Amino acid sequence: MKDISLLLTTGSARHIGEAIASGELTSVEATEWYLKRIQLLNTGVNGLNCVRSISRLALDEAKRADDELAAGRSRGPLHGVPYLVKDNVFTLDGSFASAGASALAEFIPPYEATLVARLREAGAVLLGKTNLTEFADFVADTMPSEFSGAGGVVRNPLGLQYGRGQGSSVGSAAAVAAGFCAFAIGSETQNSIQAPAIHTSVVGFKPTVGQVSRHGLIPLVPSQDSPGPLTCSVDDALLIFQAIAGPDINDTATLADFSEEARGNKDLQGLRIGIPRRFIADNLNTDDHKAIFNDLLASLSRAGATIVDHCDMPAAEELNAVRSCVFRSEFHESLNRLLASLKPCGMTSMRDIIEWNTSHPETIPYGQSLLEAAEAAPDIRSAQYINDRRHDVALSLHKGILAALNKGHADVLISPMTVAAKCTGKAGVPVVAIPAGLDSAGLPFGVTVYGAPGHDYAVISAAKAIENVIGKRVLAHFNVTN
């Protein structure tokens, strides 16, 4: 086998696809290489444990991709490119879909997620599934993001721990950083793509809610849930978004009109970048992070961007303090619907999950306070839920992101680390997380770029221009010979 290690561990999905298309590399070679690397680095005492299962069909899919290319048929830039998907996504390769819960550890889904079907149509090869924070981090308020009852502890390839609140797509982020796949699919409700992306020094993209179908995903908060890619570059995020986005009758949120006047053709020259400071960037808790962020903004200004500073959200203070029942109420309702319909592992309701956990306390070492709170939450038809959801949207979107964009005549907004995650999650807007090197303590630093709902291409385009100036990945290093 030719030496492909550098390309497959650090190269972009686009470049890997180009190598497969040109015949420099076959999809079978790439798939076998990734499977061997996962076997070497994922398991054991020091293993990363970011991959939960391997698809039994991976090599068959890779061979089919090679056969199609040999016959002169290409499905596009992702043809033959291997990827991993989060373990809350349904597939038909015989693997489980647990959402990290021990009670669902052996659930085999009866149908396939729309995004998986679309990636197959694009020619991508499913390698397997990644571990995640149990139930997308809504089990216990002290549980670290690295943990799930079904999957155990995920280790950050940079030698760090995924602590509390660092997002549930930790396995997908770790897999990309470790060179286990060309890209991975995660999902975000509030910070579950952007946080692990920044803390693992990879790119993450959460599309506008409704741009990518959630059909075939175990839900958390349907009004905020959005699947998206974790990648080595913003350009790769665009490639994958183009493959998985679009209307799906099985998810009516995707039937909204997301057309935008410009499909993201701006470069950094003339790009107006707004800086929400009050109760957003001001929430940074170290002077070091504040200095790094300001230095990054200065670099963008020197490169030709117009920095609109301050570009504050009128309702930022209210949003910072708001507490609503939306997470609890929607999780209770949506999970109950799925469980009642599919009866996975005999579970028919959230109450069944809670009782199962109580009978198996070793699977919930951090307790289940959030699950219990969700089970007792107001009904989604209640006045409390309706008012809370309306208030969330008013503060985060209309008096938040849209107001800031309009006030500053900004194309996009940018914030350090994940300080804007609460706002972007409730507003349902597109967000790109970009790694930007290390802080003075040697920990990953990054920024998030976000904009108006439905303006995904404009946000990605701006993020590409920003990445070209300040983007800096920190690579994981392993002493492994494949």
Q: Which residues have a catalytic role annotated?
A: 86, 168, 192
How many C-beta atoms surround the C-beta of residue 94 within 10 A? 10
CA distance 182 to 434: 17
Nearest-CA neighbor of 140 among 340, 320, 352, 354?
Answer: 354
Nearest-CA neighbor of 133 among 95, 88, 97, 92?
Answer: 88
Q: Give, rounded to a whole angstrom, the gap between the first and last alpha carbons of the chain.
A: 10
Q: Which residue has the tokens 């939450």?
A: 377
Q: Are 181 and 173 spatial neighbours (Cβ–Cβ below 8 Å)?
A: no
Nearest-CA neighbor of 319 among 466, 180, 423?
Answer: 423
Q: CB-based burial of residue 235 (10 Å sphere; 0-12 exposed, 13-18 middle, 19+ buried)?
A: middle
Nearest-CA neighbor of 365 among 146, 52, 88?
Answer: 146
The values of phi and psi at residue 184, to 5°, are -140, 155
Nearest-CA neighbor of 396 among 333, 458, 453, 335?
Answer: 453
Q: Are 324 and 318 spatial neighbours (Cβ–Cβ below 8 Å)?
A: no
Q: Are 39 and 48 spatial neighbours (Cβ–Cβ below 8 Å)?
A: no
Q: Are 381 and 248 spatial neighbours (Cβ–Cβ below 8 Å)?
A: no
